[in-house]
Amino acid sequence: MQEFVAFDWWLFFVRWCHIASGVMWIGHLWYFNFTQTPTMPKIPTELRPGVAKYILPEALFWFRWGAMFTIIFGLILAWMNGYLLSSIKIGIGDGSTHNTTIGIGMWLGTIMWFNVWFIIWPNQKKNIGITPATPDEIKVAARTAGLASRVNTMLSIPMLYCMAGVHFY
């Protein structure tokens, strides 16, 4: 009985960490796309470097590590619940609507995580001056990061639906 209680506590803890990390990640994603990006052109030119130098690097830190911890805790959670492999294969052959739905959400989240770490972050490093780049390279990097971020924003809606909606049926 005590082992079961301990397992339940760890299951709750991992689930809570997964949700908290996801809120950090998607909250920053939506901040960038619904607040910062549309507001930047309205900020006086002389004040914009403050956003790029102080706010953006800090926000990108929490954004990318929110993504990393969300995927780590999500995989641990799926393993602890016994549906990791079934979800990875989107429940194919299992007849499990739950595992299919979670699996679709996991794959969408994985694509989004990949975009954060391998498209958005490398391009943003050029944009904020961590990686040296010419003005033309910075322009291309900003556009590439922005497009990947918008793709993630669109993917976040069905991903959240799959992850949360699975608990309502």
* pLDDT tens, residue by residue, 20-46: 999 999 999 999 999 999 999 999 999
Chain centroid, CA 141 distance in Å: 20
- Provide the pLDDT confidence category of residue 169 given band limits of 50, 70 and 90: low
pLDDT digits (tens, 9 = 90+) for 121-153: 999 999 999 999 999 999 999 999 999 999 999
Q: What percent of the chain has pLDDT over 70?
A: 96
Instruction: Please state whether 91 falls in left (phi above 0), alpha (psi between -120 and 50) or beta.
Output: left
Number of domains in the chain: 1
**How far apart, in Å, are the Cα atoms of 59 and each of 6, 15, 32, 45, 85?**
35, 24, 9, 20, 33
Owning domain of residue 52: 2-168
Residue 2 has pLDDT above 80, yes or no: no
pLDDT digits (tens, 9 = 90+) for 92-123: 999 899 999 999 999 999 999 999 999 999 99
Residue 64 has pLDDT above 80, yes or no: yes
Average pLDDT, the chain: 94
State residue 129's pLDDT score.
Answer: 92
Cβ of 105: how many Cβ atoms within 10 Å? 21
Residue 1 has pLDDT above 60, yes or no: no
